[in-house]
């Protein structure tokens, strides 16, 4: 055994790789059962409608529209066949959403902001309104 630069002794540690003695055994009664995953919280159509209603009526941004896809509500503008993404809300829990903002190239940047849907939309309009401006 030698000594390391920090002054502590070094020693070999046996590998914990697979071997007959160390291999994991699965109880046969569980082998054929499917894995149970946690339910994913999907965005609902009423979530997209509520966000669009707020943006158009309350915030005065009639050029914006929303669409729902899986766990996100996307806020976009432009023609239907070539939409321009502005922001999206990702549902991360029963009542929790995370804000993601589109870059100038259309890629998504996750923000650290997480709140209830309506609070997050209000925060988007008040603090990041520049991301919602019309694109020419």
* 112 domain residue, yes or no: yes
* 28 domain residue, yes or no: no
Q: What is the pLDDT of residues 108-129, one digit of tens each?
A: 999 999 999 999 999 999 999 9
Q: How far apart are CA 129 and CA 5, in angstroms?
A: 55
* 25 domain residue, yes or no: no
Q: How far apart are CA 84 and CA 82, in angstroms?
A: 7
Residues listed for the chain: 136
Q: What is the pLDDT of residues 35-82, one digit of tens each?
A: 666 678 999 999 999 999 999 999 999 999 999 999 999 999 999 999
Instruction: Tell me the residue range of the domain where 121 lies.
Output: 45-132
Q: What is the DSSP string of 87-115?
A: EEEEE-SSS-EEEEEE-TTS-EEEEEEEE
Q: How far apart are CA 119 and CA 66, in angstroms?
A: 17
Which pLDDT score is estimated for 83?
Answer: 93
Q: Is the pTM of this model over 0.85?
A: no
Number of domains in the chain: 1
């Amino acid at each position: 055994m030698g000594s390391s630069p920090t002054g502590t002794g070094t020693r070999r540690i046996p590998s914990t790789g697979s071997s007959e003695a160390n291999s994991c055994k699965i109880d046969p009664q569980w082998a054929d059962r499917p894995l149970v995953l946690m339910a994913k919280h999907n965005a609902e159509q009423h979530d997209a409608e509520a966000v669009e209603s707020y943006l158009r009526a309350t915030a005065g941004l009639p050029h914006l529209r929303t669409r729902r896809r899986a766990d996100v509500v996307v806020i976009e503008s432009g023609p239907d066949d070539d939409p321009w993404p502005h922001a999206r809300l990702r549902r991360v829990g029963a009542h929790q959403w995370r804000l993601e903002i589109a870059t100038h190239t259309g890629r998504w940047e996750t923000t650290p902001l997480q709140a209830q849907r309506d609070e997050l939309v209000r925060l988007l309009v008040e603090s990041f309104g520049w991301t919602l401006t019309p694109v020419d």
